[in-house]
Amino acid sequence: MPDDGAHQHPALVLFDGQNVFADPRAPRGGWGIDSAIDGLDLRRSVAPVVIAVPHDPRSRQDELTPWPIDGHGGGAWRMIDWVADALLPEVRARFAIPQGSLGAVIGGASWGGLCALVGHHARPDAFGGALCLSPAAWVGEFAVFDWLVRHPKPTFSRIYLDCGALEAEGRMLPPAHELAKRLAARGYDGKQLRWIADPNGEHTEADWRRRLPRALRFMFRR
């Protein structure tokens, strides 16, 4: 979306950028973020500028996991700071993106969904919200739960969180639901937090593509 000098659009930074657009080369056709944005009712929603951050399969685990898995990974903190301190300033130099946390949302699926939730709380100065599809809350022996206790609720915060009942044979839904309950206990109301338990959802691009329009309507409503 070019900068026309008249309107500002918030940024949506998405991890796993190699999969987020509708592309026959992506697994199961990708997430279709472009189609989801085209389908927004602009009387009720603001269309974000999408910044898709791709990951090489060889480095993806290290870039997206905040804590190691079996001794591997745990480098997401560098990725979060790079997005906040290097990527977003570059984007703002080219597009009409509002300054500060009101101008950017961070998002992803699975490891990327967890990274987005952590990134929003670790850098509330840069990200005013997190779009978390099927967050992998189990990473680091469920370290995210103790970590969140030590980080206050951001001053401006909007979180979309979902998970499918069939993901990992049902093992991913309970901890994702627990995340939603703990966020609600911290004072998140229905305007700040949207939790969706998808009874038929699996851990696939097709399922994230199906749920993205609702996530965008919540995150970028006027």
132-142 pLDDT, tens digit per residue, is 999 999 999 99
Higher pLDDT, residue 119 or 5: 119
Chain-wide mean pLDDT for the chain? 94
What is the residue type of 101? S
Q: How confident is the model at residue 7 (pLDDT cuts 50, 70, 90)?
A: confident
In three state form, how does the secondary structure of 38-101 look? HCCCCCCECCCEEEEECCCCCCHHHHHCCCCECCECCCHHHHHHHHHHHHHHHHHHHCCCCCCH
Q: Is 106 helix (H, G, I), strand (E, B) or coil?
A: strand
Over residues 41-63, the pLDDT tens digits come to 999 999 999 999 999 999 999 99
Residue 101, in any domain of the structure: yes
Higher pLDDT, residue 69 or 6: 69
Residue 33, in any domain of the structure: yes
CA-wise closest residue to 128 among 119, 140, 139:
119
Residue 29, in any domain of the structure: yes
pLDDT cut 90: percent of the chain above it: 90
Higher pLDDT, residue 2 or 151: 151
Q: How confident is the model at residue 1 (pLDDT cuts 50, 70, 90)?
A: very low
Residue 4, in any domain of the structure: no
What is the mean pLDDT of the segment spanning 9-23?
93
Residue 6, in any domain of the structure: no
Task: Give the pLDDT confidence score for residue 24 in this predicted structure.
Answer: 76
Residue 5, in any domain of the structure: no
Residue 68, in any domain of the structure: yes
Domain count, the chain: 1
Cβ contacts of 90 within 8 Å, gap of 6 or more: none
CATH at residue 74: 3.40.50.1820
Residue 3, in any domain of the structure: no
Sheet holding 49-53, edge to edge: 49-53, 11-15, 104-109, 129-133, 158-164, 193-198
Contact (Cβ atoms closer than 8 angstroms) between residue 66 and residue 140: yes
Higher pLDDT, residue 162 or 25: 162
Asked whether residue 5 carries a pLDDT value surpassing 60, the answer given is: no
What is the mean pLDDT of the segment spanning 186-198?
96
Strands (E), the chain: 11-15, 49-53, 104-109, 129-133, 158-164, 193-198
Higher pLDDT, residue 119 or 102: 119
> The pTM is what?
0.94
Q: Which domain holds residue 142?
A: 11-219
